[in-house]
Chains A and B, each alone.
Chain A
Amino acid sequence: MKPLTTLALALSLTTMTACKSNSSSSTNGMEADTQSPSVTMFDRLVNDIFAQTSDTDKPVNTNKLSIELNHDEANFDHLF
C-alpha cells in the first residue's frame, strides 16, 4: 500500500505542475527544485494532501514549494 500511495502522491503532484509558472526537474513536493521553485496552487496542494490521507505515510514537505493562494471559496466544497 505504501509504495502505491507514494506513487499516487508523486503523480498527483505531477499534475500540479500544470499550474506552475516555470519548469522544474522535480515533480515531488519534497524534492522541488530550490533554484526555480514550482508554483503550487494552494487548493490543489490541500486537495492532494487530503487525497493521500494515510496512517502510515509521511507528510508532504512544503518548504520547497512556492505556494500561491487562490480565492475561489468553492475549491473545497467537495470535501464536505
Chain B
Amino acid sequence: MKTTMLQRFATISLITAVGSINMVQASSHREAPYITGSPKVDASDFYMFNSYEAGRDGFVTFVANYLPLQDAYGGPNYFDLADEALYQIHIDNNGDAIEDITYSFDFNTTLKDFQLDIAGSQVSVPLKNIGAIGPLANNTDALNSVQSYTLDVIEGDRRTGTATPVVNQASGAAEFRKPADNIGNKSISDYAAYADEHIYPVSIPNCPTAGKVFVGQRQESFSVNLGEVFDLINLNPLGESDSKANTLADKNVTALILEVPISCLTAGNENVIGAWTTASLRQARVLNPEPDFDNGKPAALSGGAWTQVSRLGMPLVNEVVIGLKDKDRFNASHPANDGQFADYVTHPTFPALLEILFPGTAVAPKMYPRTDLVAAFLTGVDGLNQPAAVTAAEMLRLNTAINPILAQEQSNLGVLGGDTAGFPNGRRPGDDIVDSVLRVAMGALIADSDIAPNNTAPLTDGATISAHDFGMTFPYLNTPLAGSKTP
C-alpha cells in the first residue's frame, strides 16, 4: 500500500515517541556573508502558528526575530533596530508565491540629548538612561534615546500596494513605543511588567477584529549546540536529546510579534497561508566624514530604492541548504523566483555531508530529485499544509483550519511527533525544528528504508527545547535576560 507523506509523518511520530529526541541548530543567525555585517537587519528566526493562548482561538501569531546573539550587557547603546530599514512580514494567501498582505514595520529613534550643567557648561551625557525607567510605558523621562515604530498593512505588492496604517485600538495613535532593552534591575526594576506595557491592541485596516502587536527585546528563542554543530557536527547525533547545553541560552534577540485574526489573513476557501519575513535597506549609503548631531548631520545617509538584504521563511534553509556562494543571493530573492535554488532542495548537499562526517553510520537517501524535501520545504505537505493551487516556493506554510494545541500538550517534534498543529505546519517557539529538519533531511519522509536507511534514526544535537520553555500567552517569547543581575 502506498504511504502518503502525511501518513509517513504519523508513522515517524510513533517511532520517535519511544524516546524523546531533540536536535537543534541555528535557524538563520549570521547565515550569509553579507548579513554578518548588518546584524540589525539579520532575520534569525521566523514563527507562525495558530495562537494557542487560551481564549485566542481564531488568531495567528507571527514572530520575526532580528538582531541575534545579543549579549544583555551590551551598553551603552544596546540593541535598537535600524531606523534606515524596513522590516516586513509577508503573507501569501492563495499559493501563488506572491505576497497578498504585508505588515511593514518602520522604526524611528529620538535622541533627547540629556545634558548636565557642569560648572556652568551644558554637557551631553554619554549614557542611554540617567535614571530609572518604567514600569509604565511612558515612564521614560530618564531615557535619553527612545525608539518607536509605525506599522502599515500593505495590500498587494509589498512596494507598490496600498499601505494603510495600523493604529492603537485604544488611542487611535499610529505610533507605538518599543521598550528600552533590559539594561538591568537598577534601571528597570520590573522589566516584565514594563515590557508588557508595550503590548498594544491594534485596529487593522479592513479587519473587524482587533489584533495585537509587540516589538522589543526577548530572550533568544532558538536552542542549539552551536559550536559543536558547526565544528563538523562534533557530537554524537544519536546521543541523549538533552545531553548538551543550549549555546544561545545566554543571548537576547529583538522580536516583532503580531497577532492577527485568521479571517483577515485567508482568502476565499483556502485555509493555508504562506509567510516569510524580510528586511530591506536603501540601496546606497554614504558615510559622513564629519557627523554633526547638532546640525542634523548623521553618521551615514541612505538613499535609493528599498533593497532586500534578509529573507527568512522555513528555518535552516539559508543556513544549511543554500550553497555558501548563493546565500546573499537568497537573502535578496523573492519566493516567486525560487526555481533558481531548486537544485539545492532536490539534490541537497547536507545529507551527503553527514554521510561523509559519519561514515558507516549516516547514509544519505538515494532518491533524486528529493521530492520529499520539495513537499516539506517548497509546496507544503499534501493533506496537511499544501494550498490547493500551489507554486513551489520556500516559505513557512500554515493550515489555519487545524486547531491549535495547548502548550502543555504540544510535541516538540510537531508533525513528526503526531502533533499536526506544529512544524512544518507553521512553526511554534517550542518546536524543535532542527531535530525535525535533520531527520527529514536524512529521509524521515521516505518510507522505503532501502532508499533511506536512516529514515527512522532519532537524530539529535543534544540541546533540547519545547513549549514548556516559553510563555503560554502573547507575546510567547520570554522576558530578555538583564544586562545587570544585581538586585
Instruction: Give residues in A with beta carbon < 8 Å to B.
Output: 2, 46, 49-60, 73, 76, 79-80
Q: Is B251 an interface residue (CB 8 A)?
A: no
B307 in the interface, Cβ–Cβ < 8 Å? yes
Q: Are A59 and B304 in contact (CB under 8 A)?
A: yes
Across-interface contacts of B297 in A (CB, < 8 A): 80
Given A50-B304, A59-B306, 7 new contacts (CB under 8 A): A49-B303, A55-B159, A56-B160, A60-B283, A60-B304, A79-B301, A80-B286
User: Are the C-beta atoms of B160 and A50 separated by less than 8 Å?
Assistant: no
* Residues of B close to A52: CB separation below 8 A: 304-305
Which single residue of chain A is at the shortest CB-CB distance from B288? A80
B282 contacts A53, C-beta separation under 8 Å: yes
Contact of A49 among B159, B160, B283, B289 (CB under 8 A): B283
Tell me the minimal C-beta distance from A40 to chain B in angstroms: 13
B284 located at the interface, meaning its Cβ lies under 8 Å from any Cβ of chain A in the complex: yes
Quote the shortest CB–CB distance from A70 to chain B (angstroms). Answer: 14
A22-B285 Cα distance, complex, nearest whole Å: 28
Q: Are A49 and B304 interface neighbours, CB within 8 A? A: yes
> How far does the alpha carbon of A80 sit from the alpha carbon of B306 in the complex, in Å?
20
- Option from B289, B290, B301, B305 in Cβ contact (under 8 Å) with A58: B305
A50/B284 in contact, CB under 8 A: yes
A60 near B305: Cβ-Cβ < 8 Å = yes
Contact of B286 among A51, A57, A76 (CB under 8 A): A76
Residues of B close to A58: CB separation below 8 A:
159, 305
Chain A hits for B282, CB < 8 A: 53
Instruction: Among A46, A51, A59, point to the contact of B307 (Cβ < 8 A).
Output: A59
Inter-subunit contact B159/A59 (CB<8 Å): no
List B145-173 residues whose CB lies under 8 Å from chain A: 159-160
Closest to B163 in A: A55
Q: Give the size category of B's interface with A.
A: 10 to 19
* A60: chain B residues within 8 A (beta carbon): 283, 304-305
How many angstroms between the C-alpha atoms of A51 and B301 in the bound complex? 12
User: Given the complex of chains A and B, what is the CA–CA distance between A57 and B303 in angstroms?
Assistant: 12
Contacts A58-B305, A59-B307, A60-B304 known; A79 to B160 CB distance under 8 Å? no
Please determine whether A2 and B305 come into contact, CB atoms closer than 8 angstroms: no
| CA–CA, A49 and B290, complex, Å | 22
Contact A46/B305 with A56-B159, A56-B160 known, Cβ cut-off 8 Å = no
**A59 close to B283 (CB less than 8 A):** yes
Which positions in B face A, CB cutoff 8 Å? 159-160, 282-284, 286, 288-290, 297, 301, 303-307
Chain B residues near A2 (CB-CB < 8 A): 160
Q: Hey, which chain B residues are within 8 Å of A51, CB to CB? A: 303
A59 vs B159: C-alpha distance in the bound complex, in angstroms?
A: 11
> How distant is the Cα of A58 from the Cα of B304 in the complex, in angstroms?
9
| Contact between chains at A49 and B284 (CB < 8 Å) | yes
Of all chain A residues, the one with the shortest Cβ separation from B284 is A49
Expressed in whole angstroms, the Cα–Cα distance for A46 and B304 within the complex equals 9
CA distance A29 to B306 in the complex (A): 17
Q: How far is the CB of B165 from chain A (nearest CB, A)?
A: 14
Determine which of B286, B290, B306, B307 lies in contact with A79 in the assembled complex, contact meaning CB atoms within 8 Å: B286
Chain A residues lying within 8 Å of B286, measured Cβ to Cβ, are 46, 50, 76, 79-80
| Distance of A2 Cα from B398 Cα, bound (Å) | 35
CA distance A59 to B304 in the complex (A): 7
Please tell me if the beta carbons of A54 and B305 are within 8 angstroms of each other in the complex. yes
Across-interface contacts of B304 in A (CB, < 8 A): 49-50, 52-54, 59-60
Q: Which residue of chain B has its CB nearest to the CB of A58?
A: B305
Query: What's the nearest-Cβ distance from chain B to residue A12, in Å?
Result: 12
In the bound complex, CA of A80 to CA of B282 (Å)? 16
Q: List 24 A-B contacts (CB under 8 A).
A: A2-B160, A46-B286, A49-B283, A49-B303, A50-B303, A50-B304, A52-B305, A53-B282, A53-B303, A53-B304, A53-B305, A54-B304, A55-B159, A55-B306, A57-B159, A57-B305, A58-B159, A59-B283, A59-B305, A59-B307, A60-B304, A60-B305, A79-B286, A80-B290
How far apart are the CA atoms of A54 and B303 in the complex, in Å? 8
From residue B300, how far is it (CB to closest CB) to chain A in Å? Answer: 10
Give the 4 A-B residue pairs with the shortest CB-CB distance, closest first.
Answer: A50-B303, A49-B304, A49-B284, A59-B307
Neighbouring B residues of A59 by C-beta, 8 Å = 283, 304-307
CA distance A56 to B306 in the complex (A): 8
Q: Shortest beta-carbon distance, A50 to chain B, in Å?
A: 3
Cβ of A50: which chain B residues have Cβ within 8 Å of it?
Answer: 284, 286, 301, 303-304
How many angstroms between the C-alpha atoms of A49 and B159 in the bound complex?
17
**Residue in chain A with minimal CB distance to B160:** A56
Complex-state Cα separation, A49 to B160, whole angstroms? 18
Q: Which residues of A are found within 8 Å of B303, using beta-carbon distances?
A: 49-51, 53, 79
B262 to chain A, nearest CB (A): 29
